[in-house]
Structure 1
C-alpha cells in the first residue's frame, strides 16, 4: 500500500498542502531546495534527545515536552508523520478497512471523530487520509458533508498547532470542525471513530481501564476504536492486559484485529514469555524526514507498533481466519539432534511426527513462526526454509491450518 502522503485528497484534505505546511514549519530547506545543514543538525540533536527519553530514559521524559518551541519542533519533525502513517497503514488493510467502510453504508451528514490525547492531531490526519483513500476507491460510499473532531488534550497550544496544519490544507468547500476538550467525559456527541494513539502508555495504569470505558460509552453503535502503542515489550504487554480487562466487561464489543479470538491474550504482562505482540510496517519516509534521521541516527524506514482495533456491535463480519503470525520467520537447527527432534515431534498438534521428521531432513532445513490462534493458544508452525516460498511475515493472517506444514503447541 502506498504512503499516506501519496493519497490524492479530493474531499477533505489536500495532503500535498499538508506536507508543504510540515516542510515550511521545519525550515531545513531553503526556498530553492537547498539543504540547511546546520539547521538540520541542530534539530536532529534535539530529536535524538527526545527519542532517547521516549525509548531508554523514560523517567527523564518531561510530560510537557511539547510546550517548548524546540520540543514541539523536535516532535513534529520526527514523530508526526510516522504516527500518521502507522494509523493509515494499519486501517487500510483489508481486514480493517471494511469496519471503516461499514460506517458509510448509509449517508451521513457528519462523521464524528474523538481523538483522545491527540497532540498535534496525527491520528485524525491518519483517519482523514484513509477516508480520502476509501472514497476514491469505492464509488458506492457517500462521503459525509462534515467531519467533526473532538481534539481531547490538555494542551491548548498543541491542539491549535495541529489544527492550523489541517485548516491550512483543507479544500475551500470542506467542513472540518475541530473542538478541543480537556477530558473524554466532556464529549456530548457519540463518536463514530475513537482514536487513542500512543497515549495509554502516558496515563497511570490505574486510570487506563476507566478511560477506555468512558471512551467506549461515547462511541456510536457500529463505531470503531483504535488503540495504538509503541511496539516495545512494556507497552505491548500492558496493552494486552488492558485488552483483557476491557473485553471481559464490555458489551457488544468485537475485536476486528489483530486478535483472531476474544480469549485472554497469551502475550500480556501476565505471561512469563519473553515474546510480545507487535507489528511492523515498511514505508518510504519523505526526503526531509530521511535527512533528520540521517543526523539523529534514528531509522524511520520500518515503523514498529502494537495495536487493538475494536468495533461496537460489529455490523459486517470480518473474514474468519485460523491464526495470526506474531513473530518473524526464524531458522532452527534440529538436524542430527535426536532429543530436540523428538521434543518437537511429540508436541505436534496433529499428533503425527513422521512428516515432521521427514521435513527436518530437507536440504533447506526448517524455519519456525509463532502463531496466535483462533482458540487463544500460542502455537509454533514449522515450514521448510525455502527462499522461493512466500515468507510468513509478522502480522500475516493464516486463513487455514492447512496452509502450514506442521504445528506444535507452545508452552507459556
Structure 2
C-alpha cells in the first residue's frame, strides 16, 4: 500500500497498464459495430448531460439500455476505475484473510475492477464479492471485463444479483461498498424535490447497511466530488457518529464537518491530475467535448466503535492551493477545531494528512474567517494514520 498520509497517490504501473488493457476488455465484453462506434462520442455526451444535469429524469434502468451501457462502459467506467483505484491504493481497508465484500449498486463491477488493479496483493486471496445492481446487463458485462483484466481466469468468487438493493442481500460482509449510488436512491431524489435533508432516511440507510455487516465490518462510500454528493456524505457522517460509528477516513476528527456543502462555500472533496490516463479515453473525451484534465471524489470509510480523540495539530488538506487576499498562497485544511487555511508553498497535495505547529499568535483569513496556519517548511510534518 502507498504512503498512508496521501489519499490519492500517483497511479501505480498496475493501474495504468490495466486501464490501457481495459479498452480491449470492453470490446470483447460488449463489441461495437462500426456505425455504433461512430456515434459513441454523441452517446457519451448525451449520457454525461443526463447524469450531470437531468438525473431526476433519468430512468432507473438506464444501464440496461444498450446505447447507455455502451457509453457508460467506454467513458464512465475507466474514469471511475481511475479515481477509485487511486483512492484504494492508499486506503486502510483492513480486510481479513478470507474477505467477503458486498457491492451495492455495483454497475459494471467498477469497484471490483479498481480493487484488482490497485491492490495486487489481494489477487491471491480467496475473496468473495456479492455484486447487486438493478441492471443485470451491466453486472454481466462487468464480470466479463474483470475476467479479461485478470487474464481470462479470475480467482475471486463473484456472485451477481440483478435486482434493486434492499433486504438481506447475502451473508455478513467485511466491507460494504456503495460507489456512485447515493444519487440513484429514491430518498435522495425525494430530498432534492423537498429541497431539504432527510435525516430519518439517512438513519434508516445506515441501519439497513449495518444489518449486512460482520461485527467488525466497514462501510465505504465513494461519490463524485460535487457539492450535492459531498453534502449527502456529510449528513450520513453525522448520522453515523450519533450511532456509534467512527470515521476511519478521511476525517482527522469526529467533530462537526466544517465543509458541509451548503449552497455557499466550499465542500469536502479531493482532486488530482489524470496522469496515466490512457490515450483511448482522452480521444473519446475530445470527441465528446468533455474535460479530461482533473478528477475529484468525496468519500467516507466508516467502522464500528468510538472515534479516537483528535490530535489538534493534524490537518487534512482539502483543496488545491489558491491566492490569498493579502498575498501569498493557501490551502484549506480540516481539523478538530474547524476549517483552517494552510499558508506557504510546501509540497503538499489535496487529501494529504500533515502535522502543523500552531503559532503563538492567532490570525485569520479575512475571506473565510478560518485560522491561518503555516505549512511545515520543506514538506516535513507528515503524519501516519
TM score, norm. by length of structure 2 = 0.78
Instruction: Report the alpha carbon displacement of residue 366 of structure 1 after superposing the two structures with TM.
Output: 1.8
Instruction: Report the alpha carbon displacement of residue 209 of structure 1 after superposing the two structures with TM.
Output: 3.5
Structure-2 change in CA distance of 1:173 and 1:299 (3 Å): closer
Q: For 2:44 and 2:360, how far apart are their aligned partners in 1?
A: 43
Q: For 2:215 and 2:27, how far apart are their aligned partners in 1?
A: 39
Q: For 1:292 and 1:404, how far apart are their aligned partners in 2?
A: 53
Out of 116, 120, 134, the position equivalent to 2:108 is 120
- List aligned pairs for 1:297-316, cutoff 5 A: 297-313=289-305
Q: Which moved more, 1:115-124 or 1:236-245?
A: 236-245
Query: Does the Cα contact within 8 Å between 1:103 and 1:222 map onto a contact in 2?
Result: no
What do residues 71-116 of structure 1 show as CA deviations (whole Å, max 9, x unaligned)?
Answer: 10011111001111222211212xx2xx32x324xxx3x3211101
Does 1:277 pair with 2:271? Answer: no
Q: For 1:319 and 1:223, how far apart are their aligned partners in 2?
A: 25
- Match of 1:239? 233
Query: Does the Cα contact within 8 Å between 1:5 and 1:16 map onto a contact in 2?
Result: no
Q: For 2:277 and 2:11, how far apart are their aligned partners in 1?
A: 8
Instruction: Report the alpha carbon displacement of residue 320 of structure 1 after superposing the two structures with TM.
Output: 9.1
Instruction: Report the alpha carbon displacement of residue 129 of structure 1 after superposing the two structures with TM.
Output: 2.4
- Match of 2:207? 213
SS of 1:103's partner is coil
Does 1:367 pair with 2:364? Answer: no
Does 1:287 pair with 2:279? Answer: yes
- List aligned pairs for 1:9-408, cutoff 5 A: 19-25=23-29, 40-93=37-90, 96=91, 99-100=92-93, 102-104=94-96, 108=97, 110-132=98-120, 134=121, 143-144=124-125, 146-170=126-150, 172=153, 174-180=155-161, 182=163, 183-203=165-185, 204-205=187-188, 206=198, 207-249=201-243, 251=244, 253-269=245-261, 271=262, 273-283=264-274, 284-313=276-305, 322-334=314-326, 365-375=327-337, 377-383=338-344, 389-402=345-358, 408=364
Aligned residues: 345
For structure 1, which runs of at least 5 residues remain unmatched after alignment?
30-35, 137-142, 335-364, 384-388
What do residues 341-368 of structure 1 show as CA deviations (whole Å, max 9, x unaligned)?
Answer: xxxxxxxxxxxxxxxxxxxxxxxx4222
Name which one, 1 or 2, has greater alpha-carbon Rg. 1
SS of 1:226's partner is strand
What do residues 147-169 of structure 1 show as CA deviations (whole Å, max 9, x unaligned)?
Answer: 21111112222212212222344
For structure 2, which runs of at least 5 residues remain unmatched after alignment?
1-8, 189-197, 371-385
Instruction: Report the alpha carbon displacement of residue 266 of structure 1 after superposing the two structures with TM.
Output: 2.0
Q: For 1:43 and 1:216, how far apart are their aligned partners in 2?
A: 40
Structure-2 change in CA distance of 1:320 and 1:372 (3 Å): closer
Structure-2 change in CA distance of 1:310 and 1:321 (3 Å): farther
Structure-2 change in CA distance of 1:131 and 1:407 (3 Å): farther
Q: For 2:178 and 2:360, how far apart are their aligned partners in 1?
A: 35
- Match of 1:354? none
TM score, norm. by length of structure 1 = 0.73
